[in-house]
Amino acid sequence: MNGSNPFNTGPAAPETPRTGGPHPLVRLLQDFTLEANRYVDAAGGRKDMHRTDLNALAVIMRHTAKGNVVTPGLLRKELNLSSPATTALIDRLDNSGHVVRERHSSDRRQVQLKMTPKAFTEGGAIFAPLSRHMGQAMAEFTDAELETVSRFMAAMVDATIAAREDSPEPSGPAAT
């Protein structure tokens, strides 16, 4: 690929060698994160869902796909929420028909969270435009290029997790 991307609407990475400051890829990752958050806010807002709601559904989906039981405690930890904020979040998702609370089959004291068909349907509708545009953008790259980018992105995710784990602990979970 020659660097031109018909789907790029943001600032282009400089083509000259960097002279200091963050690497252009870091700035592009920041731009991507910002635009992804804006998309989630706008698309979720059209369905009266907060970003935290969509993040919660993503956590539930990811852990369920791995065969893990998703509990309120796991959700609280993954989203760095207080217990009251987690309860409010689960109540919101339950009341909107996106999750159900079920007792675990082997430990009836444990509550597990499961996504409903409505959550999958609405999630698909929310993210279909993003998926379509990303698919079109990805079609411009070879399989080898996508493999390289996949390795890079996995390394960036791992680096971000490591940085988070190395960071000093905040005074407590977020209130929302």
CATH code for the domain in which residue 90 is found: 1.10.10.10
For the segment 51-74, what is each residue's pLDDT rounded down to a tens digit? 999 999 999 999 988 999 899 999
| pLDDT value at residue 19 | 66
* 31 in any annotated domain: yes
Q: Is residue 51 part of a domain?
A: yes
Query: Quick one: pLDDT band at residue 37, thresholds 50, 70, 90?
Result: very high
Answer whether residue 106 is part of any domain: yes
* 117 pLDDT more than 80: yes
Among 6, 132, 111, 5, CA closest to 60: 111
Q: What average pLDDT does the segment 94-110 reach?
A: 86
Residue 13 is assigned to a structural domain of this protein:
no
Assess if residue 38 is contained within a domain. Answer: yes
Would you state the structure tokens that stand for residue 46, as one six-digit string?
């059209």
| pLDDT computed for residue 14 by the predictor | 46
Mean per-residue pLDDT of the chain:
86
Residue 75 within any structural domain of the chain: yes
**Whether the Cβ atoms of residue 79 and residue 43 lie closer than 8 Å to each other:** no
pTM for this entry: 0.72
- Flag whether pLDDT at 133 surpasses 60: yes
User: What are phi and psi for residue 128, nearest 5 degrees?
Assistant: -60, -45
User: What domain range includes position 84?
Assistant: 24-166
Domain count, the chain: 1
Q: Is residue 57 part of a domain?
A: yes
Query: Which range scores top for mean pLDDT: 14-23, 37-46, 109-118, 139-148?
Result: 139-148
The CA distance from 94 to 98, in Å, is: 6
